[in-house]
Every structure is written in structure tokens, then in C-alpha cells.
């Protein structure tokens, strides 16, 4: 099923069924169902990475860390942030959270005290290189123990559930007939997912209470951990924000056209959506403007603004760079792209940037390039390691399917060739303003012709001033 058809079917379900009334243990469960409908289908087409299971030593360390977390008296912090390893980038030999570390630096410089960044999906081996480790809570360690605890509790069946799902069986029949995978949406599976979310939520509630949090900012709100983060905030009256981290628009199930919303909003959704630009803000505003419990602001991109105006390391890069930002989907490189690289490598310097969620595919990409005798004609390391805004400032043409880097390129002034219909639908406004150019024919000759046409094309754009981002941030945590 095509992505636009998946989204349309989900929106149709919201109109056909009273999804806003569906609750388990007084929690409106539709966000979990909506997200599962989409991702259970879409993830079939994404590349996957085998997750390493924690060894016995890590388990003991995580248990001790959790005890420390429970007993420790933390300094008061009215603003709390939560991010994952996939939201990080290397800068001056430190691993920095692209969106939150600039805001944390600003807060700490202004207030003269420390604030906290909860790392909810981390990589143990890279922690020593994290920027300003003293403000980071390795929450993934605690969530690991919480997950084990929840597993035992589930097996013992000590938790009771009160499910109010009028018309749900008819919905499942309807969804299956539409071609959706529903095995994960049976009532018992739904109760299990909520059990996990509530368990994680307890961890966040403990921390919010310890630090007297009033505002919290998250990245990728639709992960199980961040749904729990929002639930904890809702229960304690903490104002929750989701920071844009990539593509949104009409084909992103987490952000588009929520049409059936409870009177008091969804507990699992953030209170406010922070967007990089007015277009993204306007799209979400179509539905948030219909409710008093969810809102949206165009606050700017802290990372892009920070690197645009901050003095940071210079990088030795060639002229005439074509930057191709990949997505974690198969195939890693289409055949026609390989042909274009082979035919244009003498005229342009090709940089291919891996998505943060596909670093495990580095060797696969190298082998593919070797097979086509292109390994020495493509730069992967610099393309992936150099901060994206710095790289875009030296890029002639950007190519992508539907990466959020399309918007970042436009804000910096680099034209993008969008080579996937999802990207065309998601960034249609950029196309209308000649900030991006569609080409979805998978035709190497046409792509080469468009590359030549855009070789000297320039966009007069300016990213949001970092001071404006800080002012927007100040306003958001005063409200």
C-alpha cells in the first residue's frame, strides 16, 4: 500500500469510528493505534539493525544506576529535555545533541545553573564523547530495568485493565480488509503496549517530581518512550513540547490531520509542537487550531541557526559538491543513481550521507560502490561526519527522497532535487517557491540534465537568527 493511501485510510477511520472515546485505564489509546497502523506497514520497507542485547555486566550496572537514580537528590530544574543518540552529531570532537544542547547552553549561561538532558535511547560506548556529560541522565539504563520489571509483572498478570473500546472489533475487521497488519492491535496486545508506556511514564514522573519540572522538550514524540514522557507531563501538569527533527507534512502520520480529538486532548501527544518554519507550523495548525489542548509554534531550528551564526571548525572541502542524503529504506542506492554518479563523477564531487539510523549499513554501501567501481568517486565519511548545516553551506546541489535536510537546504540556500513522491508531497510548498525541484522518474538521463541546469542555481534564503530562536524558546517556557 502506498504511503498516501495508508494516511488516507487512517484519517478515514478517524471519521468513521469514535476513536476519541477509546480508552484503556482512562488513557485515550488512539494515538498508539494510529501510529501502529502506519509503522507496522511502513517499517516493512525500512532497513533494520540487529539490536545488541545487554550482557550480564550491563544489566548489573543498569540496576545500580537505577538505584542511584531513585535515591539521588537532583538539583531543581524547571525545564527538562529528552533525546536519543540518533539526534546527535559530531562537533569539535564532541557528540552533541543538535537541537537541545544549544538551548541548554543558553539556559545555563543565562541562569547560572545546570539543567538536564535525558538520554532515552543511547549508545553506551559513545557516552564518554558526549558534550557536557554532567547534565546528561543515562535514562536508557533505567528504562532497561523498568522494561524487565514490566515484563515480570505482565507474566504474573498483576495489572488490571479497564478497556472501553466501543466498535473496536468492527474497526479491526475494517482495517484488516484495507490491508493493514492488525496482529499488534488485538486488545491484549494494546494492553501490553499501554503497560509498557505506563511503566516508562512512572520513571519520567519520578524525575519530573524530583526536579520540579514545569516544561519539557522531547524529540520524536511518537516513540514508546516519548509517548510515556508526554503521559507523565500530562499527569503532572508539565507543559510538553515536541521539537521538529525532520520531515513532517501531509504524509507523516504523527503530525498530519488529527481529526477526532478528545475534549481535553490526547494524553500521549505533546501539548505543543515546535516547528522549524512557518510552512510546517501551518500544516499542523490546521488541526491544532480546532482544539484548546494542543498547539503549534514556529520556533526555528536551533541546530541550523546555531551553526549558521556560531564560529566553529572550518572544513577542507572541494568545490561543486553533490550531497545525497540517504533514508533508512531499501535499496540503499537505486541503480539509476549509481549510473548518474558514474557519469558525473568527473564534473562533481559526490558526497553520500548516511541517515543516523543506518550507520550499520556503512560496509554495505562501501561494497555496493566497490561493485560498481565507484568507491573512490564518493565521499561517505566526511558527508556523514561533518555537521549537516556546515556541509550544506559548501554544497552545490542536494539530492534526497524525503529527508528533513530538504528543508534545511532551502533555508541555507541550496537547491534540492527531490526524487521520491513522498518528498514531493511533503515539500510541495518548497517546490512551488523554486526552493526544491521534483524528479521522480528514476531516469538517469533526466537527472543528469537537471543537475547541469541547477549547477549555478542559487537561492536567497536565510535561516532563523539564533537570537530569535532563543527568544522563541524564552517565550515558550514563560507561558
Tens of pLDDT, residue by residue over 378-412, are: 999 999 999 998 899 899 999 999 999 999 998 88
**With helix as H, strand as E and coil as C, how does 231-280 read?**
HHHHHHCCEEEEECCCCCCCCCCCCCCCCCCCCCCCCCCCCEEEECCHHH
| Distance (Å) of CA 436 to CA 277, 429, 446, 457 | 15, 9, 16, 11
Confidence of residue 461 (pLDDT cuts 50, 70, 90): low
Region of poorest pLDDT, from 13-27, 339-353, 453-467: 453-467
**Residue bearing the bigger pLDDT, 251 or 238:** 238
Dist CA 85 CA 89 (whole Å): 9
| Distance (Å) of CA 121 to CA 177, 189, 217, 328, 446 | 35, 23, 15, 18, 41
pLDDT on residue 254: 96
What is the average pLDDT across 96-122?
A: 92
Collapsing DSSP states into helix, strand and coil, what is residue 399? Answer: strand
Q: Is the pLDDT of residue 38 over 80?
A: yes
Chain mean position to CA 229: 15
Q: Is the pLDDT of residue 428 over 60?
A: yes
Confidence of residue 313 (pLDDT cuts 50, 70, 90): low
User: What one-character DSSP code corresponds to residue 372?
Assistant: T
Percent of the chain with pLDDT over 90: 76
Task: Using DSSP bridges, classify how beta strands 295-298 and 321-325 pair: parallel, antiparallel or unpaired.
Answer: unpaired
pLDDT on residue 46: 52
pLDDT on residue 159: 84
Region of poorest pLDDT, from 117-131, 132-146, 312-326, 450-464: 450-464
pLDDT on residue 125: 67
Tens of pLDDT, residue by residue over 329-352, are: 889 999 999 999 999 999 999 999
pLDDT on residue 475: 93
Closest CA to 100 of 78, 121, 79: 79
The 239-243 sheet, strands edge to edge: 136-137, 116-121, 79-84, 215-219, 239-243, 272-275, 295-298
Query: Is the CB of residue 410 less than 8 Å from the CB of residue 461?
Result: yes
Beta bridge partners of 121: 84
| Distance (Å) of CA 414 to CA 77, 323, 407, 440 | 39, 10, 10, 19
Percent of the chain with pLDDT over 70: 94
Beta bridge partners of 97: 88
pLDDT on residue 349: 97
Query: Is the CB of residue 238 less than 8 Å from the CB of residue 214?
Result: yes
Collapsing DSSP states into helix, strand and coil, what is residue 99? Answer: coil
Tens of pLDDT, residue by residue over 65-79, are: 999 999 999 999 999
Q: Is the pLDDT of residue 144 over 80?
A: yes
pTM as predicted: 0.89
pLDDT on residue 57: 81
Region of poorest pLDDT, from 73-77, 125-129, 222-226, 475-479: 125-129
Closest CA to 335 of 360, 369, 377: 369
Closest CA to 426 of 443, 394, 395, 403: 403
pLDDT on residue 19: 97
Q: Is the pLDDT of residue 61 over 60?
A: yes
Query: Is the CB of residue 113 less than 8 Å from the CB of residue 134?
Result: no
End-to-end CA distance of the chain: 42
Domains and CATH numbers, the chain: 1-46+56-301+464-478 (no CATH), 321-455 (3.40.50.2000)
pLDDT on residue 418: 98
pLDDT on residue 1: 73
Dist CA 223 CA 118 (whole Å): 14
| Phi then psi dihedrals of residue 91, to 5 deg | -145, 120
CB atoms closer than 10 angstroms to residue 51: 6
User: What long-range pairs does 208-212 form, CB within 8 A, spacing at least 24?
Assistant: 208/80, 208/232, 208/233, 208/236, 208/238, 209/236, 210/72, 210/73, 210/74, 211/74, 211/75, 211/76, 211/77, 211/78, 211/80, 211/116, 212/76, 212/77, 212/78
Mean pLDDT of the chain: 91
Dist CA 139 CA 125 (whole Å): 15
pLDDT on residue 92: 82
Amino acid at each position: 500500500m502506498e504511503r498516501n493511501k495508508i494516511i488516507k485510510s487512517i484519517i478515514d477511520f478517524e471519521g468513521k469510528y469514535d476513536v476519541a472515546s477509546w480508552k484503556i485505564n482512562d488513557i485515550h489509546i488512539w494515538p498508539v493505534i494510529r501510529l501502529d497502523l502506519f509503522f507496522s506497514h511502513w517499517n516493512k520497507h525500512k532497513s533494520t539493525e540487529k539490536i545488541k542485547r545487554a550482557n550480564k555486566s550491563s544489566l548489573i550496572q543498569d540496576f545500580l544506576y537505577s538505584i542511584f537514580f531513585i535515591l539521588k537528590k537532583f538539583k531543581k530544574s524547571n525545564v527538562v529535555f529528552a533525546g536519543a543518540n540518533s539526534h546527535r552529531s559530531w562537533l569539535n570532537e564532541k557528540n552533541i545533541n543538535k537541537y537541545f544542547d544549544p538551548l541548554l547552553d543558553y539556559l545555563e549561561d543565562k541562569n547560572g545553573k545546570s539543567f538536564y538532558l535525558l538520554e532515552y535511547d543511547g549508545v553506551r560506548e559513545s557516552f564518554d564523547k558526549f558534550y557536557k556529560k554532567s547534565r546528561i541522565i543515562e535514562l536508557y539504563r533505567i528504562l532497561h530495568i523498568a522494561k524487565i520489571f514490566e515484563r515480570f509483572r505482565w507474566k504474573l498478570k498483576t495489572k488490571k485493565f479497564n478497556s472501553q473500546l466501543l466498535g473496536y472489533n468492527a474497526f479491526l475487521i475494517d482495517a484488516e480488509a484495507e490491508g493493514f497488519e492488525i496482529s499488534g492491535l488485538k486488545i491484549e496486545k494494546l494492553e501490553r503496549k499501554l503497560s509498557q508506556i505506563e511503566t516508562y511514564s512512572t520513571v519520567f514522573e519520578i524525575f519530573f517530581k524530583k526536579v520540579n519540572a514545569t516544561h519539557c522538550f522531547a524529540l520524536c514524540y511518537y516513540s514508546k518512550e516519548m509517548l510515556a514522557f508526554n503521559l507523565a507531563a500530562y499527569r503532572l501538569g508539565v507543559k510538553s513540547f515536541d521539537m521538529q527533527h525532520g520531515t513532517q507534512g501531509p504524509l507523516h502520520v504523527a503530525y498530519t490531520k488529527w481529526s477526532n480529538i478528545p475534549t481535553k486532548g490526547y494524553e500521549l501527544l505533546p501539548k505543543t509542537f515546535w516547528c522549524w518554519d512557518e510552512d510546517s507550523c501551518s500544516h499542523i495548525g490546521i488541526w491544532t487550531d480546532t482544539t484548546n489542548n494542543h498547539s503549534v509554534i514556529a520556533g526555528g531550528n536551533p541546530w541550523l541557526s546555531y551553526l549558521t551564526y556560531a564560529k566553529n571548525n572550518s572544513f577542507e572541502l572541494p568545490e561543486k559538491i553533490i550531497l545525497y542524503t540517504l533514508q533508512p529504506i531499501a535499496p540503499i542506492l537505486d541503480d539509476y543513481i549509481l549510473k548518474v554518479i558514474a557519469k558525473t563523477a568527473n564534473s562533481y564531487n559526490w558526497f553520500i550521507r548516511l541517515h543516523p539510523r543506518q550507520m550499520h549499513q556503512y560496509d554495505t554501501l562501501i561494497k555496493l560502490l566497490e561493485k560498481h567501481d565507484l568507491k573512490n568517486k564518493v565521499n561517505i565519511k566526511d558527508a556523514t561526519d561533518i555537521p549537516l548545516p556546515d556541509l550544506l553551506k559548501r554544497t552545490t546541489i542536494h539530492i534526497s527522497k524525503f529527508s528533513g535536510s530538504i528543508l534545511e537546504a532551502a533555508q541555507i540556500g541550496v537547491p534540492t532535487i527531490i526524487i521520491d513522491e513522498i518528498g514531493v508531497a511533503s515539500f510541495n510548498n518548497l517546490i512551488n517557491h523554486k526552493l526544491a525541484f521534483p524528479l521522480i522518474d528514476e531516469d538517469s538521463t533526466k537527472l543528469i540534465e537537471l543537475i547541469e541546469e541547477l549547477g549555478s542555481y542559487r537561492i536567497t534564503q536565510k535561516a532563523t537568527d539564533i537570537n530569535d530562536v532563543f527568544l522563541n524558546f524564552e517565550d515558550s517556557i514563560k507561558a
